[in-house]
């Protein structure tokens, strides 16, 4: 999920001629288009899954206006007063941003955000204040974080990129101006143009060496849009905020603007933030399209609509709309109907932005407001923020920490030679008692074996490691168990390992975030096939959540007969592969994510996703059909979970993964059935 900070430049329409003021108004109208794209994208409006393209429009506009401002100063005085420029930027951006940071912190102190959000707020607030929110988010990403509520400060990443640009760009242009005066005084845009071109090449090439999440958040890859705007400012240096004149220019601008608008519209409808092609030149194409649109606006194309009173009014408040709308979306929580989100977020965001514009933004920019008074107000806001953050930080383990405890991959036990009976004690039904079998020891426990999974109240950082292999698998009579699947399988493997049963030797070949399909995941046929050949298991346990991509990649609707047929085909192939060495295959049916927290696993969508009960039923039905054809057995995990109705919400703090005593109970129940399958 992405946001952009629309940053109005210091090029106010006041003092310009009518034509120039009109073109500036058109850019304000274009800001309205950009912020509407971003807001509707975050409201999950159907058909706008790529609405984040509004971010790039903001970047292009900012790159153009800021570079125009700096070039004017160079042409007027021969240099750039960097300190004055930065002070103006501080007055323009920081007061409103700091007020929003304080409001978010206070909201946490009064309980608006959940424990995981509150625990992360101090670091996220510090990163926003230090202008490095994009890097902090890139470094703090992790599998578990996608199952918790998003941060109400996530949108500060794009503001950080723009502010990093503001810190470096005046100095770079000042150096380019000095080189120009020395080596090419008659070609004043030559050195700056070469610098922009070189930096653009670095930006484009860097995207090919980053994964999609890093490419999306990196200032290096995203600066191509800012540089594209800067290039336009250099090209039109002789007439800032005005397009070149001539009878042939306007049709060219209109054609380029229309083509750029088509590209922006296609990206808004078709793209996704995780698409690899964005970093592989996609951001460059979007930047060029956005530059064409900006150039057309400056040339007067679309002035009637973009320059209208409403569009300009909204555009000049777009910074406030941007800052306040995302915390409102997060506060509403997942699973809300789109119409309800729009009904609440749109008018409240505009209303708050209007108030903040009049009471914070505009007063802070006035020269009459003394720096000392502004500084006192800033200290007061920071004091409120710090106090609220301290009061809001939870004193117990968060859902994220409790889930992370289950995702360790521990070292497997080292075994010694012995003979172990495999008599199963206990029934195998979902609600039946599952007494652990009493067996002679044949396994010397390794790291993590028999270890208490805890009460879900204390986080152990070592619990994110992997479960290793048994070093000497020679325990005669024990059951060799191979576990495959996604994070659900990883948790189950940890639970079985924690039981410490000497009758089970465990090989964990689960992959967090990966099962049948997934970006950056190995091919399951290769991974599982190699595991079966190496381990030669007696029993294989497969456990995954519902995977929407399984059928989407093949083009069939999930709930269609064709979708069912495709799933059955894939499951049949998988079960035969896992049982190819003679192993008994046990498949754990998925448990439906709990609402509301579990909806984050489905990006807030309660229907038409893995959180849809109809999807879970269809997935399980396909599993059972394939099991009948292959001799595999389907474990009624949802039935077992239902038997724990008294504690079911504590069992899954993020709404998806089992933790603590519940995970050990699940492992005990599955372990008995594993031993029964060996008979």
On whether the CB atoms of residues 572 and 626 are closer than 8 A, the answer is yes
Instruction: Please state which of the ranges 164-168, 177-181, 219-223, 322-326 shows the lowest mean pLDDT.
Output: 177-181
d(CA 15, CA 250): 25
pLDDT for 228 equals 96
d(CA 597, CA 442): 42
Say if residue 187 is in the same domain as residue 309: yes
The reply to whether 257 falls in a domain is yes
Say if residue 184 is in the same domain as residue 76: yes
Say if residue 485 is in the same domain as residue 629: yes
Tokens of 676: 């029964």
Tokens of 185: 């005084």
Say if residue 254 is in the same domain as residue 163: yes
The reply to whether 311 falls in a domain is yes
d(CA 382, CA 535): 58
- At residue 534's C-alpha, the angle toward residues 528 and 540, to 5°, is 50
Query: Which residue would you say has higher pLDDT here, 165 or 447?
Result: 165
Say if residue 152 is in the same domain as residue 295: yes
Predicted TM-score of the model (pTM): 0.75
Say if residue 358 is in the same domain as residue 442: no
The reply to whether 30 falls in a domain is yes
Structure letter (DSSP) for residue 471: S
Residue 309 CB contacts under 8 Å (≥ 6 apart), including other chains: none
Task: Examine the pLDDT at 222 and tell me if it is beyond 70.
Answer: yes
pLDDT for 134 equals 93
The reply to whether 3 falls in a domain is no
Query: Which residue would you say has higher pLDDT here, 455 or 313?
Result: 313
Helix (H, G, I), strand (E, B) or coil at 440: coil
Tokens of 372: 């000392």
Give the count of beta carbons closer than 10 Å to the beta carbon of residue 288.
19
* pLDDT, tens digit (0-9, with 9 covering 90-100), for 326-346: 999 999 988 788 899 999 999
Confidence band for 409, pLDDT divided at 50, 70 and 90: low
Query: Which residue would you say has higher pLDDT here, 97 or 524?
Result: 97
Task: Examine the pLDDT at 14 and tell me if it is beyond 50.
Answer: no
The reply to whether 251 falls in a domain is yes
Query: Which residue would you say has higher pLDDT here, 244 or 322?
Result: 322
d(CA 171, CA 178): 11
- For residues 421-438, average pLDDT: 40
- State in Å, rounded, how far the first CA of the chain is from the last one: 50
Tokens of 409: 């991959």
Say if residue 189 is in the same domain as residue 270: yes
* pLDDT, tens digit (0-9, with 9 covering 90-100), for 240-293: 777 776 777 888 888 999 999 999 999 999 998 888 999 999 999 999 999 999
User: Bridge-partner residues for 414, per DSSP?
Assistant: 444
Q: How much is the mean pLDDT over the chain?
A: 81
* pLDDT, tens digit (0-9, with 9 covering 90-100), for 39-67: 999 998 988 989 999 999 999 999 999 99
From start to end of 294-361, where are the E strands? none
Task: Examine the pLDDT at 581 and tell me if it is beyond 80.
Answer: yes
- For residues 146-175, average pLDDT: 89
Task: Examine the pLDDT at 84 and tell me if it is beyond 60.
Answer: yes
Say if residue 466 is in the same domain as residue 614: yes
* pLDDT, tens digit (0-9, with 9 covering 90-100), for 122-147: 999 999 999 999 999 988 864 445 55
From 305, 339, 364, the end of a domain falls on: 364
The reply to whether 385 falls in a domain is no
On whether the CB atoms of residues 332 and 341 are closer than 8 A, the answer is yes
Give the percent of the chain with pLDDT over 70.
Answer: 81
- Give me the domain span that covers residue 458: 436-677
**CATH number of the domain to which 483 belongs:** 3.40.50.1110
pLDDT for 207 equals 92
- For residues 478-506, average pLDDT: 86
Instruction: Please state which of the ranges 167-181, 263-277, 555-569, 599-613 shows the lowest mean pLDDT.
Output: 599-613
The reply to whether 314 falls in a domain is yes
d(CA 287, CA 285): 5
Say if residue 334 is in the same domain as residue 451: no
Give the percent of the chain with pLDDT over 90.
Answer: 42
From 317, 339, 364, the end of a domain falls on: 364
User: Bridge-partner residues for 485, per DSSP?
Assistant: 543
Instruction: Please state which of the ranges 261-270, 407-416, 561-570 shows the lowest mean pLDDT.
Output: 407-416
* pLDDT, tens digit (0-9, with 9 covering 90-100), for 587-631: 999 888 887 777 777 777 777 787 888 889 988 999 999 999 998
Say if residue 353 is in the same domain as residue 452: no
pLDDT for 11 equals 44
The reply to whether 320 falls in a domain is yes
pLDDT for 10 equals 43
Task: Examine the pLDDT at 156 and tell me if it is beyond 90.
Answer: yes
pLDDT for 444 equals 34
How many domains does the chain fold into? 2
* pLDDT, tens digit (0-9, with 9 covering 90-100), for 354-405: 999 999 999 998 888 888 888 899 999 999 999 999 998 887 666 565 566 5
Instruction: Please state which of the ranges 196-205, 242-251, 495-504, 620-629 shows the lowest mean pLDDT.
Output: 242-251
pLDDT for 408 equals 58
* SS percent in the chain: helix, strand, coil, step 5: 60, 5, 35
d(CA 669, CA 648): 16
The bridge status of strand 479-485 relative to strand 504-508 is parallel
From 364, 381, 404, the end of a domain falls on: 364
The bridge status of strand 479-485 relative to strand 539-543 is parallel
On whether the CB atoms of residues 666 and 453 are closer than 8 A, the answer is no
d(CA 126, CA 300): 42
Task: Examine the pLDDT at 648 and tell me if it is beyond 70.
Answer: no
Say if residue 228 is in the same domain as residue 84: yes
Task: Examine the pLDDT at 576 and tell me if it is beyond 90.
Answer: yes
């Amino acid at each position: 999920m992405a946001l952009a900070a629309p940053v109005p430049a210091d090029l106010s329409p006041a003092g310009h001629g009518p034509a120039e003021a009109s073109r500036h108004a058109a850019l304000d109208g274009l800001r309205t288009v950009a912020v509407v794209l971003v807001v509707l994208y975050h409201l999950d409006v159907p058909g706008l899954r790529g609405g984040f393209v509004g971010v790039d429009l903001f970047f292009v506009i900012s790159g153009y206006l800021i570079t125009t401002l700096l070039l004017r100063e160079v042409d007027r005085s021969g240099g750039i007063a960097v300190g004055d420029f930065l002070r103006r930027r501080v007055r323009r951006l920081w007061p409103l941003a700091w007020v929003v940071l304080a409001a978010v912190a206070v909201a946490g102190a009064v309980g608006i955000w959940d424990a995981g959000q509150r625990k992360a707020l101090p670091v996220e607030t510090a990163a926003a204040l230090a202008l490095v929110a994009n890097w902090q988010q890139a470094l703090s990403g992790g599998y578990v974080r996608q199952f918790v509520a998003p941060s109400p400060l996530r949108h500060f990443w794009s503001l950080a990129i723009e502010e990093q640009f503001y810190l470096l760009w005046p100095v770079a242009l000042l150096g380019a101006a000095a080189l120009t005066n020395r080596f090419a005084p008659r070609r004043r845009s030559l050195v700056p143009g070469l610098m922009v071109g070189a930096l653009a090449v670095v930006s484009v090439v860097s995207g090919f060496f980053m994964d999609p999440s890093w490419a999306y958040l990196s200032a290096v890859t995203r600066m191509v849009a800012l540089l594209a705007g800067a290039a336009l400012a250099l090209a039109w240096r002789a007439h800032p905020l005005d397009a070149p004149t001539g009878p042939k220019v306007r049709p060219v601008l209109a054609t380029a603007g229309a083509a750029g608008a088509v590209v922006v519209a296609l990206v808004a409808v078709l793209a996704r933030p995780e698409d690899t092609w964005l970093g592989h030149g996609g951001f460059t194409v979007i930047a060029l399209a956005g530059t064409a649109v900006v150039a057309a606006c400056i040339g007067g194309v679309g002035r009637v609509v973009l320059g209208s009173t409403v569009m300009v009014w909204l555009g000049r408040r777009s910074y406030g709309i941007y800052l306040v709308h995302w915390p409102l979306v997060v506060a509403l929580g997942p699973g809300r109907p789109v119409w309800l989100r729009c009904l609440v977020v749109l008018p409240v965001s505009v209303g708050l932005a209007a108030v903040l514009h009049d009471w914070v933004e505009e007063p802070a920019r006035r020269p009459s407001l003394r720096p000392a008074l502004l500084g006192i107000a800033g200290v007061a806001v920071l004091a409120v923020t710090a106090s609220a953050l301290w009061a809001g930080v939870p004193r117990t383990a968060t859902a994220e920490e409790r889930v992370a405890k289950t995702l360790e991959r521990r070292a497997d036990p080292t075994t010694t030679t012995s003979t172990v009976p495999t008599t199963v004690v206990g029934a195998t039904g979902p609600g039946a008692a599952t007494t652990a079998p009493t067996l002679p020891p044949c396994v010397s426990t390794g790291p993590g074996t028999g270890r208490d999974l805890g009460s879900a109240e204390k986080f152990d950082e070592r619990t994110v490691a992997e479960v290793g292999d048994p070093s000497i698998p020679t325990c005669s009579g024990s059951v060799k168990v191979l576990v495959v699947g996604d994070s659900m399988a990883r948790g189950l493997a940890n639970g079985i390992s924690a039981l410490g049963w000497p009758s089970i030797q465990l090989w964990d070949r689960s992959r967090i975030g990966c099962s049948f399909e997934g970006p950056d995941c190995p091919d399951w046929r290769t991974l599982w096939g190699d595991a079966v050949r190496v381990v030669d298991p007696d029993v294989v346990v497969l456990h995954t959540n519902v995977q929407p991509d399984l059928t989407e990649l093949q083009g069939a609707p999930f709930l269609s007969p064709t979708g069912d047929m495709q799933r059955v085909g894939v499951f049949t192939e998988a079960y035969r592969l896992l049982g190819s060495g003679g192993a008994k295959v046990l498949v754990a049916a998925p448990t439906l994510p709990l609402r509301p927290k579990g909806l984050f696993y489905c990006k807030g969508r309660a229907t038409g996703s893995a959180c849809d009960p109809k999807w879970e039923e269809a997935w399980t039905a396909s599993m059972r059909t394939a099991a009948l054809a292959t001799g595999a057995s389907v474990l009624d995990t949802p039935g077992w979970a239902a038997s724990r109705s008294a504690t079911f919400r504590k069992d899954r703090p993020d709404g998806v993964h089992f933790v603590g005593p519940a995970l050990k109970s699940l492992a005990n129940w599955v372990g008995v059935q594993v031993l029964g399958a060996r008979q």
